[in-house]
């Protein structure tokens, strides 16, 4: 885990904008962790989450999500990581891809504010371990530190 965090810290430190750091993060995370099937970063704009970077086999129709809506909106509203082991059993889930079975959403903090979040879908049920959660939370902290 530490090598992925170090690698991402180094690769994002050379990014010239926050959006570019998000692009690098989604691309590399998906490449490095096989069960991360789709990786996206939403940035908060007022009461909306706006999809800023993503990497995966297909685009999502959910490019803007209201705070409070879906798993993404829940994580933004509460400021806490949400892990859903079986998306089909969770009524809060907003469906994107038919093959998705589990999801993790981790808020990105800059100082005390949630400025966005990392959203990862997996095609495997119960894919996200405690170690994945720590990994993504530490990457979110790196990105939060880069936010202007």
**Where on the chain is the footprint of ligand SME (CB under 6 A)?**
40, 60, 62, 65, 70-72, 93-94, 96, 103, 119, 121
**Cβ(82)–Cβ(105) below 8 Å:** yes
Residue nearest to ligand SME (CB): 70
Residue whose CB is less far from ligand SME, 72 or 140: 72
Give min distance, CB of 70 to ligand SME, in A. Answer: 3
Give min distance, CB of 33 to ligand SME, in A. Answer: 16
* DSSP 8-state secondary structure symbol assigned to residue 41: E
**Cβ(44)–Cβ(116) below 8 Å:** yes
Give min distance, CB of 99 to ligand SME, in A. Answer: 11
Look at residue 120 and give its three-state secondary structure.
Answer: strand
- Which residue shows structure tokens 């400025």? 115
Residue whose CB is less far from ligand SME, 6 or 35: 35
Residue whose CB is less far from ligand SME, 72 or 83: 72
CA distances from 2 to 7, 34, 66, 139 (A): 8, 17, 33, 10
């Amino acid at each position: 885990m530490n090598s992925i965090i170090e690698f991402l810290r180094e690769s994002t430190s050379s990014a010239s904008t926050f959006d570019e750091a998000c692009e690098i993060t989604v691309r590399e995370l998906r490449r490095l962790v096989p069960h991360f099937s789709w990786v996206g970063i939403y940035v908060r704009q007022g009461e909306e989450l706006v999809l800023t970077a993503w990497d995966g086999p297909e685009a999502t129709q959910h490019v803007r999500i209201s705070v409070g809506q879906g798993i993404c909106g829940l994580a933004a509203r509460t400021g806490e990581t949400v892990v859903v082991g079986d998306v089909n059993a969770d009524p809060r889930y907003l469906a994107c891809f038919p093959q998705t079975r589990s999801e993790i959403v981790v808020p990105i903090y800059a100082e005390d504010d949630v400025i966005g979040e990392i959203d990862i879908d997996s095609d495997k049920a119960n894919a996200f371990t405690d170690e994945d959660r720590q990994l993504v939370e530490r990457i979110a902290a790196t990105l939060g530190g880069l936010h202007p």
